[in-house]
């Protein structure tokens, strides 16, 4: 089978205990690179995810504020996160996207499973006044077994008995437990 890759993935980040830290569904770009020297994933997120920032950095406890600190904070509660340039955080990743099957032209779900990774503290907070500025993140892949494997790729298999329908304008389809097709004309294509 041949597939076309036409989708930016959604990325779920888990801590080492497999608790969901962040679900990044607003990625603008995603790149997975596997080579002999260093393999990893680069993502560019359209929005800042505070839970992810807390995971990457360290959230400071909120002490009782002095008068000086109250003025700094304008009397508002704030979250302070400290970042360290040399520390990285271990994590697990699941990226979900879609490939286009070249033969059937149907989309198939693809899951990239990275059982062992590190968030490398190469954060890039870009600011400008024209566009929303993305957050750049890099995850380094680590071997998860003795063979040195770093990633598993799961590709959904389409049922070969899938029926394709041609619809006239004004037709509709509902797919769920029961498949309902409301069309003026539906044609089975082999």
Dmax over Cα atoms in the chain, in whole Å? 76
166 and 102 fall within a common domain: no
Residue 163 belongs to domain spanning: 159-190
184 and 119 fall within a common domain: no
81 and 109 fall within a common domain: yes
Question: What is the model's pTM?
Answer: 0.70
Structure confidence at residue 63 (pLDDT): 66
Predicted confidence band at 134 (pLDDT cuts at 50, 70, 90)?
low
Length in residues, the chain: 190
Structure confidence at residue 50 (pLDDT): 85
151 and 163 fall within a common domain: no
Number of domains forming the structure of the chain = 2
16 and 37 fall within a common domain: yes
Q: What is the mean pLDDT of residues 5-19?
A: 90
Predicted confidence band at 190 (pLDDT cuts at 50, 70, 90)?
very low
Structure confidence at residue 1 (pLDDT): 74
165 and 148 fall within a common domain: no
117 and 170 fall within a common domain: no
The CATH number of the domain holding residue 113 is: 2.30.110
Q: What is the pLDDT of residues 72-103, one digit of tens each?
A: 776 566 677 777 777 788 999 999 999 888 88
Q: Decide if 60 contacts 84 (C-beta within 8 A).
A: no
């Amino acid at each position: 089978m041949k597939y076309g890759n036409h989708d930016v993935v959604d990325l779920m980040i888990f801590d080492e205990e497999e608790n969901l830290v962040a679900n990044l569904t607003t990625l603008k770009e995603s790149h997975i690179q596997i080579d002999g020297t260093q393999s990893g994933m680069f993502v560019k997120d359209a929005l800042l995810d505070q839970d992810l920032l807390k995971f990457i950095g360290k959230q400071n406890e909120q002490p009782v504020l002095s008068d000086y600190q109250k003025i700094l904070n304008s009397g508002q509660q704030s979250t302070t996160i400290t970042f360290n340039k040399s520390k990285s955080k271990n994590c697990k990743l699941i990226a979900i996207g879609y490939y286009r099957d070249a033969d059937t032209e149907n989309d198939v779900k693809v899951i990239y499973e990275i059982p062992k990774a590190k968030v490398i503290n190469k954060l890039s907070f870009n600011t400008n006044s024209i566009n929303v500025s993305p957050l750049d993140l890099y995850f380094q892949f680590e071997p998860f077994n003795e063979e040195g494997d770093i990633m598993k790729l799961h590709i959904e298999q389409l049922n070969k008995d899938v029926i394709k329908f041609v619809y006239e304008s004004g037709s509709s389809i509902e797919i769920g437990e029961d498949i309902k097709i409301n069309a003026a004309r539906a044609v089975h294509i082999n």
